[in-house]
């Protein structure tokens, strides 16, 4: 049985701000990019309501609308946006080599350059009451959503650097922040712990877990359980922030590209280059620190510029 193989100069995997920005730049550079959107076209922002911190939107914009606009902008310059999931990759480690990517287990692609923008997925506790109230007061991004809880009482779950950073961010906006750490110590750096401890309106509770998120349509409170005593207690809050880590979407790249110990793609220096010539990574899949739409967009731009320079340097054209 013969197989159809589609050849292209530039394949973009993933459709968040990084992927679309890479697409805008790659299309304008005549690289004829083809993007496969993944399972969640538009990425993490499609699960956000209001985006108030992306420059250029003085009145804010809702996440799904912003992603539709980014898609339209990428298409305006000729990006071919398709729904599909990269399910396997076989990268060439030679300069000028051809990278093979399988889409939806059935379609075969050969690309001169690949821009990976598959993002990361925030981890949640997994409680049904938490899942029900996502978008109704449960958020995994304090920087995105904290503003909506100005002068209100909120809680944050987690004891790592993200939780500590977000707790101090929230403490500047909110009346009170209850920080729930499941163990008897925080994992965050000493400097971050110090910032948490010295904030007068952060109440730190160790050995504490969320037993239930309370509220029908919006968050009204939490039932907390103390893991040592077994004691349960209800507190009133209007916002719950989950900061227990992210999982980079890199499962299909394992063994094909250098990942760090947490599974994020390693990039070289200040570039988006990976250890594989012609394969570039942008957005949250390679960034565990900033994780903002605007920083993802910035690295998407960099990836397209890096890919363009790479193509010029190898001067290899497989498409007539
Ligand atoms: P981490 O994996 O470092 O920390 C996760 C935290 O969440 C831990 O305290 C963990 O508890 C807790 N946790 C995990 N699962 C649950 C659960 N089901 N219920 C309750 N608590 C849970 O993730 P971060 O996102 O904080 O950080 C990721 C990486 O990014 C780290 O290397 C960090 O240093 C880095 N980072 C650096 C920043 C900076 O330098 N400015 C800012 C943000 C992140 P436990 O400890 O008990 O496992």
Please confirm, yes or no, whether 80 is among the known catalytic residues.
Answer: no
Where is pLDDT greater, at 209 or 62? Answer: 209
Q: Which atom of ligand 1 is nearest to the CA of 123?
A: 15
Same domain, yes or no: 204 and 100: no
Verify that 41 and 112 share a domain, yes or no: yes
Residue 115 and residue 133 in one domain: no
Distance in Å, CA 285 to ligand 1 centroid: 16
Q: How far is the CA of 288 from the centre of ligand 1 (A)?
A: 10
- E strands, the chain, where? 5-13, 34-36, 50-51, 61-62, 80-82, 86-90, 99-103, 107-116, 120-122, 138-139, 153-157, 176-180, 202-205, 208-214, 221-226, 232-236, 239-242, 246-248, 279-281
Q: Which of 190, 218, 242 is the last residue of a domain?
A: 242
CA of 187 to the centre of ligand 1 (A): 7
Residue 84 has pLDDT above 80, yes or no: yes
Structural domain harbouring 312? 5-121+246-319
Do residue 130 and residue 186 come from a single domain?
Answer: yes
CATH code, 146 = 3.50.50.60
144 is catalytic: yes
Q: Residue 1 above 50 pLDDT?
A: no
112 and 52 housed in the same domain = yes
The single residue of 145, 161, 284, 306 carrying the catalytic annotation is 145
**pLDDT single digits (tens) 210-263:** 999 999 999 999 999 999 999 999 999 999 999 999 999 999 999 999 999 999
Return the residue whose CA atom lies nearest to atom 34 of ligand 1: 161
Reported as a single tens digit per residue, the pLDDT across 236-251 is 999 999 999 999 999 9
Number of domains the chain is built from: 2
If asked whether residues 13 and 103 sit together in one domain, one would say yes
pLDDT in tens, 16-68: 999 999 999 999 999 999 999 998 888 877 766 678 789 999 998 988 899 99
Task: Kindly tell me if the per-residue pLDDT of 318 is higher than 70.
Answer: no
Whether 70 and 162 share a structural domain:
no
Answering whether pTM is above 0.85, one says no
- Ligand 1 site: residues with CB under 6 angstroms? 125, 157-163, 165, 182-183, 187, 209, 244-245, 288-289
Q: What are the residues whose beta carbons fall under 8 Å from the beta carbon of 211, sequence distance 6 or more? A: 222, 223, 224, 225, 232
Final residue in a domain of this structure, among 185, 217, 242: 242
pLDDT for 152 beyond 70:
yes
Summarize the confidence of residues 145-152 as an average pLDDT.
94
For residue 130, pLDDT over 80 is answered with: yes
Query: Of all residues in the chain, what percent carry a pLDDT higher than 70?
Result: 97
Annotated catalytic residue 141: yes
Looking at residues 75-91, what average pLDDT do you find?
97
């Amino acid at each position: 049985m013969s197989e159809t193989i589609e050849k292209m100069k530039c394949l973009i995997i993933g459709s968040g701000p990084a992927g679309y920005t890479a697409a805008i730049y790659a299309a304008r550079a005549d690289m004829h990019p083809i993007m496969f959107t993944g399972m969640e076209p538009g990425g993490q922002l499609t699960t956000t309501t209001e985006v108030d911190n992306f420059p250029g939107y003085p009145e804010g914009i809702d996440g799904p609308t912003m992603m539709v606009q980014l898609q339209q902008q990428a298409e305006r310059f000729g990006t071919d946006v398709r729904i599909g999931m990269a399910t396997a990759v076989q990268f060439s480690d030679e300069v000028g080599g051809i990278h093979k990517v399988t889409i939806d287990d059935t379609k075969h692609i050969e690309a001169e350059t690949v821009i990976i923008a598959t993002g990361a997925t925030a981890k949640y506790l997994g409680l049904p009451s938490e899942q029900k109230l996502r978008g109704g007061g449960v958020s995994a991004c304090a920087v995105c959503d904290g503003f909506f809880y100005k002068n209100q009482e909120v809680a944050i779950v987690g004891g790592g650097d993200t939780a500590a950073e977000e707790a101090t961010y929230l403490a500047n906006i909110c009346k009170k922040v209850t920080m729930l750490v499941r163990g008897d110590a925080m994992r965050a750096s000493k400097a971050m712990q110090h910032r948490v401890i010295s904030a007068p309106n952060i109440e730190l509770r160790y050995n504490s877990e969320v037993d239930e998120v309370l509220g029908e349509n919006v968050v009204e409170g939490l039932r907390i359980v103390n893991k040592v005593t077994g004691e349960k207690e209800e507190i009133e809050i209007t916002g719950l922030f989950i900061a227990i880590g992210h999982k980079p979407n890199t499962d299909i790249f394992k063994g094909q590209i250098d990942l760090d110990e947490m599974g994020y793609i390693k990039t070289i220096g200040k570039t988006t280059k990976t250890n594989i010539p012609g394969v570039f990574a942008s957005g949250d899949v390679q960034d565990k620190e900033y994780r903002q739409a605007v920083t993802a967009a910035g690295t998407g731009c960099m990836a397209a510029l890096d890919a363009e320079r790479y193509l010029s340097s190898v001067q290899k054209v497989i498409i007539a």
